[in-house]
Amino acid sequence: MADPIAANIDHIRERIARAARRAGRKEESIRLMAVSKTVEPARVRQAVEAGIRIFGENYVQEAREKIPALGPGIEWHMIGHLQTNKVKYVVPLFDWIHSVDRIELAGELDRRAGKLGRTLNILIEVNVGGEASKSGAPPQDVPALIRDAALLPHLRIRGLMTMPPYSENPEDARPYFVSLVKLRDAIRALAIDNVSMDELSMGMTDDFEVAIEEGATIIRVGRAIFGQRPAR
């Protein structure tokens, strides 16, 4: 039987290409991240063998075990909520942090990155749906947060990330993706030094095609690659 992970990835790549074509975008402008939370290293390795080079993890303890086991040649992105006291573990392991939503967290990431002599790629997580249960900065706070974070020398602010409110219908996510694009454009117009705003991390298993149509540059796909996760 064909490797289901490789077949899943092929199928997703076809869907990415079709969505890009519909939107008049280049397929290469969209990067596929495999979200590997709860997935054991041997199955992550199958995705690497199928050509995936970007992986997303949510949980610090799990990442501390998994990332060293997989070795070099992989770009790791932290996509889960991050407590300030866990930053010391995260900075040596990850190249990108998608979940920066407060200046205290940005400051601690900068301090730890400086100690290790490295620079971290940062996305600001935005709570576009205004849900009390979700992390992410409120949209109106994002410009000030970015102005402050832009002063930190070991962070490179690359763009925005969001996770819209859950819905069965992918179309329901579209207005939230559109509002993230508008916020990105507003921040670009401020022309803040050290801020590039080229990246939009949005779209998951159920809604990545809609996200691509609206301008996603990084899509974060878990279940469509690795199958359903165990309840946590």
Ligand X SMILES: *Cc1c(COP(=O)(O)O)cnc(C)c1O
Residues forming the site for ligand X (CB under 6 A) = 35, 37, 58, 79-80, 163, 204-205, 220-223
Instruction: Tell me which residue of 162, 203, 222, 232 sits closest to 16, measured CA to CA.
Output: 203
Instruction: Tell me which residue of 154, 21, 25, 173 sits closest to 100, measured CA to CA.
Output: 154
**CB 192, min distance to ligand X, A:** 25
**CB 135, min distance to ligand X, A:** 9
Nearer to ligand X, 129 or 222 (CB): 222
Helix, strand, coil: what percent of the chain each, to 5? 45, 20, 35
- Residue listed under structure tokens 């022309």: 191
Contact 52, 9 (CB under 8 A): yes
**CB 142, min distance to ligand X, A:** 17
Nearer to ligand X, 64 or 111 (CB): 64
Paired strand residues for 55: 34, 76
**CB 37, min distance to ligand X, A:** 6
Nearer to ligand X, 56 or 150 (CB): 56
Which residue of this chain has its Cβ atom nearest to ligand X in the complex? 222
Nearer to ligand X, 39 or 157 (CB): 39
